[in-house]
Structure 1
Amino acid sequence: MASSSLVLPSISLRRSSISTSMGFKNEIPRISIKNLDRGGRVFMSIAVGAQTTVVDDARFKDYKPSCAFLFPGQGAQGVGMGVEAQKVPAAAELYKRANDIMGFDLLDVCINGPKEKLDSTVLSQPAIYVTSLAAVEVLRARDGGQGIIDSVDVTCGLSLGEYTALAFAGAFSFEDGLKLVKLRGEAMQDAADAAKSAMVSIIGLDSEKVQQLCDAANQEVDEENKVQIANFLCPGNYAVSGGLKGIEAVEAKAKSFKARMTVRLAVAGAFHTSFMDPAVSRLEAALASTELRTPRIPVISNVDAKPHADPDTIKEILARQVTSPVQWETTVKTLLTKGVEKCFELGPGKVIAGIVKRVDKSADIENIGA
């Protein structure tokens, strides 16, 4: 685990003990935002008489990963997920707790579908969040599983998976995370319904060529149909988002740019672009009313591929995440460059494992499903 940069004064501080739903206990001082310097670094302070305790948002900057948990995003869902979780009481319990928030039997949709219902943005996001955290409990119940969980010193998730990672790291409770994910899915669906937009994966090109393809398509459409790279996934696989006519232009031109193939994604609309602007204010309001704590381990952001410690900064980044390109390729490369030895993908599907292997064939990654 990354060493803490929290410097305590030499007098006793009253602390609040917080138990997260994932079984971790974290003692943290009550903190408040003090200032934001010109370099964009956030500092928090606790006044204790004449002394102050300062926590830098960049406290995890020099993290040295050895074992990482990676959580999937939308698209990893599949009918039948959640079956394995029912064999582990702690995992099965998460679905029961989810029902109170969702207002219906989420497990039934996960196991029985129908696929069209499970694939919808408003359902797939909560379903993946719960199933991914259920996978943590499945691993915990395995011989040596608790030891693996205890050894995790960095975590991250692809788009939606960032919320799962934050819940695992104790930044917010299981319930609060699910409420945010539920609202996020609804807000993104509503934003998608407001305009004709789409996403497409471009297979077989590097990011520079994909950008050139986007530029060529944008020359043929109006401003409302512009496209951009939305997901930097891994070498040879980049997702483009934008207006429907722009996406169609990308698909028509892809072969002339030597793309191997294009795959239209089964999502509601142009995620991770300005098309999602209407969702931001709703997310900001929900995040503002959510208790969010400093993660106990680094959680890598999709927006800038860096870990953050300050709760207010994390909230701001989560709101921006829906309109910002996903920097997943940079995240995976950084973990590998920093020397991570073992990765686990927790949740439905094996999308993350495939991406990691595309970045480095020798990478050690294991999938834990539920």
Structure 2
Amino acid sequence: MAKVAFLFPGQGAQFVGMGAALADSKPEAAALFRQAGDILGEDLLELCRNGPAERLNATDMSQPAIFVSSLAALESLRQSEPMVFDECVATAGLSLGEYTALVFAGAMSFEDGLKVVRERGRAMQAAAEATPSGMISALLLDLPVVEEVVREASVAGRIRIANYLCPGNTVLSGDMAAINAAERIIEEKSGKPIRLTVAGAFHTDLMKPADERLAAVLAGATISPPKIPVWSNVDARPHSDPVKIRDLLVRQVLSPVRWEETIRALLAEGVERFYEIGPGKVLAGLLKRINRKIECRNCAA
């Protein structure tokens, strides 16, 4: 039996129309969206189905929308390939996707996970509005060169590495002045800069005090030991202690995402096939840059 890992996407994977086909064809998916609407007091399915894109892309709504759409896609997979759940030995999610992974692994309930994700999105949106900032991908550059970009751009303002995604794709977060400088420097070093459509400098200390707000809401959520290992973005390791999991989720807001390290560790653990579960195919693309031979199946929202 092949060892399988489930991967869940993060913010940026959203698009108008996601989840609608699943809700129309799968009663279990429709039930998740109805439950989410009751919890949020807002018709999340209508927003996913018809937008507007500006509202769906806002951090406070995109995070719950991706979370629910990904879990709807998970229910679809449960019907189409039930045996793969017996083969799943680990799970991970990119940033926001870590919460989806925890719900899948039984560490959090759907209701608690959705409430925490909603407040996480609100806290991050507020922090972003307080400090004009952004994120930019540095493509086609090795990590030492990206570190040079950070050093040079820091003259203009605060800037940090936010995501270690895969070879040739590192994401920077910072003040807008520093991001503007980084864009120019990346080009000078023969890289390709791509601005990300996010509200602020996620996964850096510019997100304070979002971590404190998140800690407060997590304190009221029940977290149990996961039934299968859930790999943390902060240290690229799995954890079973609920206290440690809660602490790492708070730290994640200000800490860089170690995605490449996580994937390499899962491969070292013997994972032979991955499933990307949720909107988009970003994670499959990153996986191919890490190991072109490994299989990744997409279960789309």
- TM-score bracket for the superposition, by shorter chain length: over 0.9
**Secondary structure at 1:153 match in 2:** strand
Across the aligned residues of Structure 1 and Structure 2, the Cα RMSD in angstroms comes to 1.2
Are positions 1:283 and 2:219 aligned together? Answer: no
Alignment match, 1:257: 189
Task: Write the mapping of 1:85-234 to structure 2, written as runs, cut at 5 A.
Answer: 85-86=22-23, 87-142=25-80, 145-218=81-154, 220-221=155-156, 225-234=157-166
1:170-198 Cα distance to aligned partner (Å, 9 max, x none): 00100100000000000000000111111
Which of the two has higher C-alpha Rg? 1
Contact 1:71 1:165 in 2 (8 A): yes
Conserved in 2, the CA contact under 8 Å of 1:196 and 1:269? Answer: yes
Measured after TM superposition, the shift of residue 289 of structure 1 is 1.1
Distance in 1 between residues matched to 2:268 and 2:190, nearest whole Å: 30
Structure 2 counterparts to residues 345-364 of structure 1, below 5 A? 345-364=276-295
Code of the aligned partner of 1:258: S
Alignment match, 1:242:
174
User: What displacement does 1:150 show?
Assistant: 2.3
What is the CA distance between 1:338 and its match in structure 2? 2.3
Deviations 1:52-99 (A, max 9, x none): xxxxxxxxxxxxx91100000000011110123121111111000000
Instruction: List runs of 5+ in structure 1 lacking aligned partners.
Output: 2-64
Letter of the structure 1 residue corresponding to residue 57 of structure 2: D
**Following the alignment from structure 2 to structure 1, what is the Cα–Cα distance between the partners of residues 90 and 188?**
41
Contact 1:294/1:309 (8 A) holds in 2: yes
Aligned 8 A contact 1:211 1:228 in 2: no
Q: Is the 8 A contact 1:77 1:118 kept in 2?
A: yes
Mapped partners of 2:79, 2:186: distance in 1: 47
Instruction: Name the structure, 1 or 2, with higher relative contact order (CA <8 Å, separation 6+).
Output: 2
- 1:130-180 per-position Cα deviation (integer Å, ceiling 9, x unaligned): 0001011111121xx211122211000000000000000000100100000
What is the SS of the residue equivalent to 1:343?
Answer: strand
Distance 1:112 1:323 in 2: 32
Q: Distance in 2 between matches of 1:338 and 1:78?
A: 33
CA deviation after TM superposition for structure 1 residue 256, in Å: 1.9
How do residues 296-307 of structure 1 correspond to structure 2 at under 5 angstroms? 296-307=227-238
Matching residue within 68, 72, 76 for 2:13: 76
Distance across 1 between alignment mates of 2:116 and 2:82: 27
Unaligned ranges ≥5, structure 2: none
Check whether the contact 1:231–1:240 (CA below 8 A) recurs between aligned residues: yes
Equivalent AA in structure 2 for residue 104 of structure 1: E
SS in 2 for 1:308: coil
User: CA separation in 1, counterparts of 2:162 and 2:183?
Assistant: 15
Q: Which of 241, 265, 284 is matched with 1:334 structurally? A: 265
CA contact (8 A) 1:135 1:369 kept: yes
Matches within 5 A, 1:34-45: none
Moved more, 148-157 or 318-327: 148-157
TM-score (norm 2): 0.98
CA distance in 1, matches of 2:180, 2:242: 40
SS of the residue 1:93 aligns to: helix
> Given that residues 303 and 317 in structure 1 are in contact (C-alpha distance below 8 angstroms), is that contact kept between their aligned partners in structure 2?
yes
Q: Distance in 1 between matches of 2:64 and 2:20?
A: 16
Measure the CA separation in 2 of the matches of 1:186 and 1:133.
Answer: 21
Query: Quick one: distance in 2 between partners of 1:309 and 1:80?
Result: 36
Tell me the distance in 2 between the aligned counterparts of 1:190 and 1:314: 24
**Among candidates 292, 317, 331, match of residue 248 of structure 2:** 317
Residues of 1 paired with 2:34 and 2:214: CA distance? 25
